[in-house]
Amino acid sequence: MYNLTVIPGDGIGPEVTEAALHVIDALEVNFNYTTVYAGEGCFKETGTTIPEETIDLAKQSDATLFGAVTTVPGTKSSIITLRKELELYANLRPVKSYPGIDSLYKDLDILIVRENTEGLYSGIEEYTSEGATATRIITMAASEKICRFAFNQAKNSGRTKVTAVHKANMLQKTDGIFRKEFFNVAEGFPEIESDEKYVDAAAMFLVYKPQIFNVIVTTNLFGDILSDEGAGLVGGLGLAPSANIGDKNALFEPVHGSAPDIAGAGISNPSAMILSAIMMLNYLGESYEAQKLENALLNVLNHSKVLTPDLGGSAKTMEMAEEIRSKLI
């Protein structure tokens, strides 16, 4: 029995969460869920986007499933607070092609490893007399930790190359440290090829020749942008999952936000949330059940017409979830 904290959030967050819970409920793994709140709706009810109770429960759980939230200007971000409070230093964002999906590339399997706690998302921004400044924090410890995590991920998943993405020619001190730590860590993994790209070139190569990448490790903002770009190569945000991993806790969430343009219509694609749940099952050591769920999802993506509109179908979110559940064998 695993204790799971569930944070549905706002917009399409609750419907993709309901869809994911509907399919994982049919697996041979027992979860004890507790649903708690964060985001815009929570702010309207309680005056905070992220109550202490939500943070405490997530800290005590075996894992947390997070839907999506709408950003409330002028308040602290609930997801960034959770990443900091739970010390979820690694954000894994796979960029994977799925058979049957109309996408730019059919052969991609890239893992983006994004540093999750510092960089330009350190939350230190202030107005000055001339405008505003944001502080970009890069520490040796966090850079070393995320690079080591990326090489270990590569090693444990049979991948052969890790590319550091940075801008050390312009950001000589901050990204100079990130780059130095990357090559120090690389020395301990002689069996894995290590190379580097400036972020502008990496953005171009991701579109032009993405097959050159296997694992990308990068800082917070660059990873956020490149992973959305990656999602665009393989079928869009409806198919992009992520994992936030720390030494004690882990949180799984789709890359997408609350999608206010389609919220309430019941047509959001549940796949990103279900793929995030698959990453959670693997994290918990339930690799057999994870594979079973992945097979069911791939079966539907490749062969079924019960797909949401972003995938070319006309199904509702829960109809697609039901179709996936029916293919679990």
So which residues are the catalytic ones?
121, 167, 200, 224, 228
Residues 3-62 that bind ligand NAD (CB under 6 A): 12, 16
Tell me whether residue 325 is exposed, middle or buried, using C-beta atoms within 10 angstroms of its C-beta: 0 to 12, 13 to 18, 19 or more: buried
Q: Which stretch binds ligand NAD (CB under 6 A): 45-53, 107-115, 266-274, 279-287?
A: 266-274
Q: Which stretch binds ligand NAD (CB under 6 A): 93-101, 107-115, 250-258, 276-284?
A: 250-258
258 near ligand NAD (CB under 6 A):
yes
Build a one-symbol-per-residue string for 188-227: x at contacts with ligand NAD by CB under 6 A, - elsewhere.
Answer: ----------------------------------------
The DSSP output letter for 311 is G
274 near ligand NAD (CB under 6 A):
no
Q: C-beta of 173: minimal distance to ligand NAD in Å?
A: 29
The only residue of 17, 70, 163, 244 in contact with ligand NAD, by rule CB under 6 A: 70
Looking only at the bridges linking them, the beta strands covering 90-96 and 241-245 are antiparallel
Instruction: Find how far residue 58's CA is from the centre of its chain.
Output: 17
Q: Which residues pair with 163 in a beta bridge?
A: 195, 216
- In the numeric block, which tokens belong to residue 15? 């419907």
Give CA separation, 19 vs 14, 48, 122, 289, 293, in Å.
9, 27, 33, 17, 13
C-alpha span between 3 and 179 (Å, rounded):
38
Shorter beta-carbon distance to ligand NAD: residue 243 or 272 = 272
Shorter beta-carbon distance to ligand NAD: residue 214 or 269 = 269
Q: C-beta of 194: minimal distance to ligand NAD in Å?
A: 30
The only residue of 61, 244, 269, 299 in contact with ligand NAD, by rule CB under 6 A: 269
Give CA separation, 46 vs 56, 63, 84, 162, 304, in Å.
17, 24, 21, 44, 42
**Cα–Cα nearest to 86, from 62, 69, 68:** 62
Q: Which stretch binds ligand NAD (CB under 6 A): 50-58, 169-177, 268-276, 278-286?
A: 268-276
The only residue of 164, 257, 274, 316 in contact with ligand NAD, by rule CB under 6 A: 257
- For residue 55, the SS3 value is helix
Q: C-beta of 126: minimal distance to ligand NAD in Å?
A: 21
Residues 103-162 that bind ligand NAD (CB under 6 A): none
DSSP labels, 179-246: HHHHHHHHTT-TTSEEEEEEHHHHHHHHHH-GGG-SEEEE-HHHHHHHHHHHHHHTT-GGG-EEEEE-
71 near ligand NAD (CB under 6 A):
yes
Q: C-beta of 181: minimal distance to ligand NAD in Å?
A: 27
Q: Which stretch binds ligand NAD (CB under 6 A): 114-122, 135-143, 152-160, 256-264?
A: 256-264
C-alpha span between 294 and 278 (Å, rounded):
7
**Cα–Cα nearest to 211, from 114, 107, 112:** 107
Calculate helix-pair angle for 271-283, 13-24, nearest 10 degrees. 50
Build a one-symbol-per-residue string for 73-92: x at contacts with ligand NAD by CB under 6 A, - elsewhere.
Answer: ------x-------------
238 near ligand NAD (CB under 6 A):
yes
Which residues make up the interface to ligand NAD (CB under 6 A)?
12, 16, 68-71, 79, 237-238, 253, 256-262, 268-269, 272, 310
